[in-house]
Amino acid sequence: MALLQISEPGKSTLPHEHRNAIGIDLGTTHSLVAAVLSGEAKILQDEKNARLIPSIVHYQKEAILVGNEAAKQLANDPTNTITSAKRLIGKKLSDIQPDTTPLKLVNQDQLIGIKTNQGVKTPIEVSSEILKKLSAIAQNHIQDEICGAVISVPAYFDDAQRQATKDAARLAGLHVLRLINEPTAAALAYGLDKKVEGRFVIYDLGGGTFDISILQLSHGLFEVIATQGDTGLGGDDYDLALFNWLISDLDIKVEDPKIKQALISLSKKIKEDLSQEYKIEINERLSNEILIKKIITQAEFSQLTDNLTQRTLKAIKAALHDANSTIDDIDGIVMVGGSTRMPVIQKAVQDFFKKDLLNDINPDEVVALGAAQQANILAGNTNENLLLLDVTPLSLGIETMGEIVEKIIPRNSTLPIAMAQEFTTYKDGQTAMMIHVVQGEREMVKDCRSLAKFSLKGIPPMVAGAAKIRVTFQVDTDGLLSVTAKELSTNTQASIEVKPSYGLDDEQIRSMLEDSFISANEDLEHRALAEEKMGGRQLLEMLKNALSEDQKLIDKDEIKLIDEAVKGLEMALQGDDRHQIHEKIERLNDVTQNFAQARMDHSIQKALSGKTLKDMEL
Ligand code: ADP
Ligand code: MG
């Protein structure tokens, strides 16, 4: 989610060693491919000189159309024409609201399948068709071996979504040099990494999504310190607002999907034209019943869509809050995404920050250009050795006794990262341990997302608490997690690579963060109760074992006292009153103090009569 960039001097490559690498912006609405040619990042155009390739794939019986050709089929054959595959990639069917798409979605081994003329296709396959097209465009320009590609993904993409994007690239025959977060790519394109220090906002309003990221640059390090946004807000909503305005004083209902599609396309055109002209006169006959004759100005359009624009400003405020910043801390604002061409957006953002914007690179090309620069560096063509690192969007941890989450890697840790923590067994003689990997900010397992489970077997039987098991979490630069558990006395180990079969979208991440924020107090209370209960149960278990061995060391009255205290604690453990449980634990500790002392004396005597120290530990 956040990024870190380390720039350090390295060896520059000789000219004959130049290797070709490309940068790809695999967008929800449009995709682009770029490369550094003769020292400058350039967008590579297709055979018709198009720079933006619509991210649309159309499946005919025998052929597959991609881009503009596919877009033409959208109105006639929407079920075989796949748009916005990026919204589906790496997700499960249950993550998607089926009524939001004309596609026929099915369950395909836990993942989403899309029924088409050519059978069921996964979003990975669909994306790979787009990537194949981009790769062919690049090959056409470069006419030489391409060693690999840097592909941009939203900063909030999780493991599954990143992995799925890589799989799509592999399917397209592309070697992925690295995935790069979109805001970082944009920052690179503006050369912000060349500055000494600064805090930057990346405002990205695309076709259907809105992302806001705050990057901090210091001492050559470039880190994303906050992200916010809305996966359901983009240029399409501005089109829709115009569409509603267009039909608002028509008497008819627009039910024919073709007419509706035509009206939406008209709305989009008006919107885009309004970025150039102050006033647009509309005079369109869509059918015999529908004649549209209207005039709209930029000011009217601004008013019509003000609620949408305000939503983006709200997200900026939230991001600033997350980054503990005010507008005075911001040194630059980068505008990304085709929709930031709208004057209403430029003005709103400029007024908000009271600063000039960085907007002189084409907003829909800036991400691909930055990715191409990064690809060029990774291919070894420059004297820079740039390392781009991400951070974890949510905390990662494991389940401990009492269904409590122990966080191992906190949220927003810079990647790659490896962190370890030692755990121990709960019961005497325990020889296996279940490692349950979870993701989220909450204290209790049930409120977090379960990522994986595996068990560590072959722990030598020991007293509860004596075994040392080191659990190591490692997340690589692409955000993929592997977990290893190792018993330290025998070096027995088990590990798992976590590739969840579905992902969380940023909405879910946001709502999980929000939940953790709202429930912080309640969570702590829950955790404290669970811990208290566990402590109580452990004490009872230990006492039971001790009594069965050494009851003879104390008299009847004392046993009676202990029994009463045990009953008191057992009763309290049935309920949920943490303070009462605590009180009963204290009471039991009090009345067993003498017994504990007696046992200790007894074991010392045993030791003195030739027993080893090890035996005494009980
Ligand atoms: P994505 O990153 O989601 O693929 P883009 O950055 O390509 O999206 O942005 C696409 C959006 O930009 C569309 O809604 C399109 O209408 C809008 N757009 C493109 N050019 C203009 C313009 N001149 N004025 C207003 N909106 C524009
Ligand atoms: Mg984009």
To test ligand 1's pocket by mutation, which of 240, 272, 273 has the most ligand atoms within 8 angstroms of CB?
272
User: Is the CB of residue 54 below 6 angstroms from any atom belonging to ligand 1?
Assistant: no
Residue with the smallest CA separation from ligand 1 atom 8 is 206
Ligand 1 atom closest to 27 (CA): 4
pLDDT at residue 355 greater than cutoff 50: yes
141-151: per-residue pLDDT in tens? Answer: 999 999 999 99
What is the CB neighbour count within 10 angstroms for residue 333?
A: 20
CATH of 1-81+125-190+363-384, one of 3.90.1570.10, 3.40.50.1110, 3.20.20.150, 3.30.420.40: 3.30.420.40
pLDDT at residue 261 greater than cutoff 50: yes
Residue with the smallest CA separation from ligand 1 atom 18 is 338
Set 159, 182, 223, 532: catalytic member: 182
Q: Judge contact between 455 and 448, C-beta under 8 A.
A: no
User: Is the CB of residue 51 below 6 angstroms from any atom belonging to ligand 1?
Assistant: no
Ligand 1 atom closest to 55 (CA): 4
Q: What is the C-alpha separation between 113 and 111, in angstroms, rounded? A: 7
pLDDT at residue 254 greater than cutoff 80: no
364-373: per-residue pLDDT in tens? Answer: 999 999 999 9
Ligand 1 atom closest to 52 (CA): 7
10-31: per-residue pLDDT in tens? Answer: 333 344 467 899 999 999 999 9
Fold of 392-516: Substrate Binding Domain Of DNAk; Chain A, domain 1 (2.60.34)
Pick the ligand that lies closest to the CA of residue 339: 1
User: Is the CB of residue 182 below 6 angstroms from any atom belonging to ligand 1?
Assistant: no
Catalytic (active site) residue 182: yes
188-233: per-residue pLDDT in tens? Answer: 999 888 777 899 999 999 998 999 999 888 655 667 788 888 888 9
Ligand 1 atom closest to 274 (CA): 24
487-527: per-residue pLDDT in tens? Answer: 988 888 888 777 543 445 556 656 666 666 666 677 778 77
- Tabulate helix, strand, coil % of the chain (nearest 5): 40, 30, 30
Q: What is the C-alpha separation between 391 and 134, in angstroms, rounded? A: 28
Catalytic (active site) residue 615: no
Q: What residues contact 413, with CB distance under 8 A and at least 6 apart?
A: 391, 392, 419, 475
Pick the ligand that lies closest to the CA of residue 368: 2
Pick the ligand that lies closest to the CA of residue 153: 2
Say if residue 393 is preceded by a cis peptide, omega within 30 of 0. no
Q: Output the pLDDT for position 604.
A: 65
pLDDT at residue 3 greater than cutoff 60: no
> What does the domain layout of the chain look like in residue ranges?
1-81+125-190+363-384, 392-516, 521-608
How do 176-181 and 146-153 pair as beta strands? parallel
Catalytic (active site) residue 204: yes
Residue with the smallest CA separation from ligand 1 atom 23 is 272
155-175: per-residue pLDDT in tens? Answer: 878 778 888 999 999 899 999
Q: Mean pLDDT, the chain, as a whole number?
A: 85
Q: Does domain 521-608 have CATH number 3.10.180.10?
A: no
pLDDT at residue 388 greater than cutoff 50: no
pLDDT at residue 554 greater than cutoff 60: yes
Report which of residues 46 and 599 the model is more confident about.
46
The pTM assigned to this predicted structure is 0.65
* Rounded distance from Cα 196 to ligand 2 centre (Å): 27
Of the ranges 91-95, 175-179, 180-184, 596-600, which one carries the lowest mean pLDDT score?
596-600
pLDDT-based confidence at residue 362 (cuts at 50, 70, 90): very high
* Rounded distance from Cα 234 to ligand 2 centre (Å): 10
Q: Output the pLDDT for position 501.
A: 34
